[in-house]
Structure 1
Amino acid sequence: MPLQRFTKVYGIKDAKISPLTSDPASGSPVYGTAIDVPGIKSYEVSGDVEVKTLRGDNTKLATNSSISNIQVSVSHAKISLDVLVAILGGAVTDSGTTPAQKSVWDLTGDTATMPPFKLEGVTPANAVDVVGGDLHVVLHKLTLSGFPDLGFAEEDYRIASFTADADPLTSNGKWISITLNETAAAIV
């Protein structure tokens, strides 16, 4: 019997960003090493539909609609310098020795490249209707659509977040994939 094609979705366990290094018209996309989004809190996908209506003879004759945008909004509990490089650009420099080590992310006009990236999120095991299963949501080609929310909060934790817009891959046209697994699988 095939797996049912519907499920509840409860929680998010993990999310990873992979830099998109190549998207050839003929071939397959190539991604860099996956980077953990630490302390993932939310992964919300939304979209816009453009609707065109044809009118004539004083009546509605036809309606066509198309997806004009898919967007993701992500919030996470910890700031990752590697995630900032993957979604915004810049470079991280490590220096020093214990007890004076430093990791510094620098962004300049020349290094703010806004590189394309893939984002994959997954529920915990058993957070779907299938016992032992999970759900993965992949946005294959994203570009940051606003500067990430960073900073500090008085007497509280500061939650980092970002939004990005999806484009279809040149190689295969994919924007988004949702996979319901009978057996939970880690993000690779």
Structure 2
Amino acid sequence: MPIQRFTRVYGIQDAKIAPLTADPAGGTPTYGALIDVPGIKTLEISGDVEVKKLRGDNVQLASNSSISNVQVSITHAKMSLDVLAAIIGGTVTDSGTTPAQKATWDLTADTANFPPFKLEGVTPPNGVDLVGGDVHVVLHKLTASSFPDLGFAEEDYRIASFTADADPLQANGKWISVVLNETAAAIA
């Protein structure tokens, strides 16, 4: 018997992104290594629907709706140089030796290319109706739609965030996948 197709959704435990390295039409998309989004706080998905109405004879004769935009908004507690490089470009370099090591993210005119990436978030185990289960949400092809919120806050923590727009994959047309697992699974 299949599992139920509805659930409560409580919390978010983990999120990872992966650079989209190939998206061949009719083929198989490929992704780079997973990058942790540290201190994930929220993953919010919204969308826009465009509605066209056909009128005639002083009445509405028909209407047609289509998705015109899917957007994701992420907040996370810790700034990550690797996430910045993956979502807007740039390079991260490590230098120095202990006790003077450095990790530097540089964004230049040549490297600010807003590359496509995948995002996957997951609830904690038991964050769903199925005991021991979880929910994964996958956005298969995203592109940052604004510059990430960065900086400092006086006498407080600064929460990092970014937004991105989704596009369907050319390989298989997927935009979003929501997977309800009977047994919790790590992001892979």
Q: CA RMSD in A?
A: 0.4
Structure 1 residue aligned with 2:10: 10
SS of the residue 1:82 aligns to = helix
Structure 2 residue aligned with 1:185: 185
In structure 2, what is the Cα distance between the partners aligned to 1:54 and 1:25?
A: 33
Report the TM-score, using the length of structure 2 for normalisation.
0.99
Structure 2 residue aligned with 1:22: 22
Structure 2 residue aligned with 1:65: 65
In structure 1, what is the Cα distance between the partners aligned to 2:127 and 2:157?
A: 27
Structure 2 residue aligned with 1:117: 117
- Provide the aligned length of Structure 1 versus Structure 2: 188
User: After TM superposition, which residue ranges in structure 1, 4 or more long, deviate above 3 angstroms?
Assistant: none
Structure 2 residue aligned with 1:35: 35
- Aligned-pair distance for 1:89? 0.2
Give structure 1 stretches of 5+ with no counterpart.
none
Structure 2 residue aligned with 1:130: 130
Residues 118-175 of structure 1: CA deviation (Å, up to 9, x unaligned): 0000000000000000000000000000000000000000000000000000000000
- Aligned-pair distance for 1:12? 0.1
In structure 2, what is the Cα distance between the partners aligned to 1:25 and 1:55?
A: 37
Give structure 2 stretches of 5+ with no counterpart.
none
Structure 1 residue aligned with 2:108: 108
SS of the residue 1:83 aligns to = helix
Aligned partner of 1:71: which letter?
Q
In structure 1, what is the Cα distance between the partners aligned to 2:71 and 2:149?
A: 16
SS of the residue 1:113 aligns to = coil
Residues 56-75 of structure 1: CA deviation (Å, up to 9, x unaligned): 01111001000000000000
- Aligned-pair distance for 1:182? 0.1
- Aligned-pair distance for 1:90? 0.2
Report the TM-score, using the length of structure 1 for normalisation.
0.99
Residues 46-92 of structure 1: CA deviation (Å, up to 9, x unaligned): 00000000000111100100000000000000000000010000001
SS of the residue 1:103 aligns to = strand
- Aligned-pair distance for 1:26? 2.5
SS of the residue 1:85 aligns to = helix
Residues 100-126 of structure 1: CA deviation (Å, up to 9, x unaligned): 000000001110010000000000000
Structure 1 residue aligned with 2:77: 77
